[in-house]
Amino acid sequence: MTTCFRALCCKGPPPARPEYDLVCIGLTGSGKTSLLSKLCSESPENVVSTTGFSIKAVPFQNAILNVKELGGADNIRKYWSRYYQGSQGVIFVLDSASSEDDLETARNELHSALQHPQLCTLPFLILANHQDKPAARSVQEVKKYFELEPLARGKRWILQPCSLDNMDTLKDSFSQLINLLEEKDQEAVRM
């Protein structure tokens, strides 16, 4: 009886999950808010584009991601860098089915982020969203168009396809990002 009591009552609280502060950027309409809402088990039905920024705590089994989502409108993008401080990783969402002009703008914004002094050493998760649309570009097409191989050489980044219809792929993408964040933490401890 005593053993059973100890097993039930004396375990203590479960170990704390690590928390990581991330910044989520991408053009308006890329799907940032919808993807984050779905990950938080909220209905993406009534989602409104983010004006300014919003913060969501996205729980996973092995970590909690505190995601600062920044609006993607023209008049807001110029202020993105003011919100980068303290970030431990970056989520960049792009609409893989967007127009050539929007894709070019997204490419320029991603290049700026990858080279920004506060972000250039951080892990990046690049989500090629709206893969469920007929005009969606494949991950290989996005990788080539965005020139990710030469630009991101030596950096930690993941490029994944996603859509609201496939939550397993989306969760797997975030699991890979969490692994990169944990590796970065372990390297910092070793130094």
- Whole-number Å distance between alpha carbons of 167 and 99: 25
Give residue 155's pLDDT.
81
Going by the annotation, the residues of the binding site for GTP are 26-33, 72, 129-132
For 132, the token pair is 């469920």
Binding site listing: 26-33, 50, 72, 129-132
- Per the CB < 8 A criterion, the answer to whether 117 and 48 are in contact is no
105: CB partners within 8 A, 6+ apart: 27
Sketch out the chain's domains with CATH numbers.
19-190 (3.40.50.300)
| Residue-wise pLDDT tens digits, 85-130 | 999 999 999 999 999 999 999 999 999 999 999 999 999 999 999 9
**Residue position matching structure tokens 């039905």:** 45
DSSP label of 30? S
The answer to whether the beta carbons of residues 69 and 32 sit under 8 Å apart is yes
Do the beta carbons of residue 132 and residue 97 sit within 8 Å?
A: no
Q: How many CB atoms lie within 10 A of CB 158?
A: 16
Whole-number pLDDT of residue 126 = 97
CB 11 within 8 A of CB 66: no
Phi-psi region at 30: left, alpha or beta (left = phi > 0; alpha = psi -120 to 50): alpha
Share of the chain above pLDDT 90, in %: 74
Q: Would you state the pLDDT for residue 184?
A: 78
Which residues of 31-87 form beta strands (DSSP E)? 53-59, 64-70
Contact 22, 91 (CB under 8 A): yes
Asked whether the beta carbons of 106 and 95 are under 8 A apart, the reply is: yes
In this prediction, residue 9 carries a pLDDT of: 55
What the block records as the tokens of 51 is 């004006």
Cα end-to-end distance, the chain, whole Å = 47
Mean pLDDT of the chain: 89
Per the annotation, binding residues for Mg(2+) are 33, 50
Question: Which residues of the chain, if any, have pLDDT below 50?
Answer: 1-6
Distance from C-alpha of 147 to C-alpha of 115, rounded to nearest angstrom = 13
Those residues whose C-beta lies under 8 Å from the C-beta of residue 149, and which sit 6 or more positions away, are 143
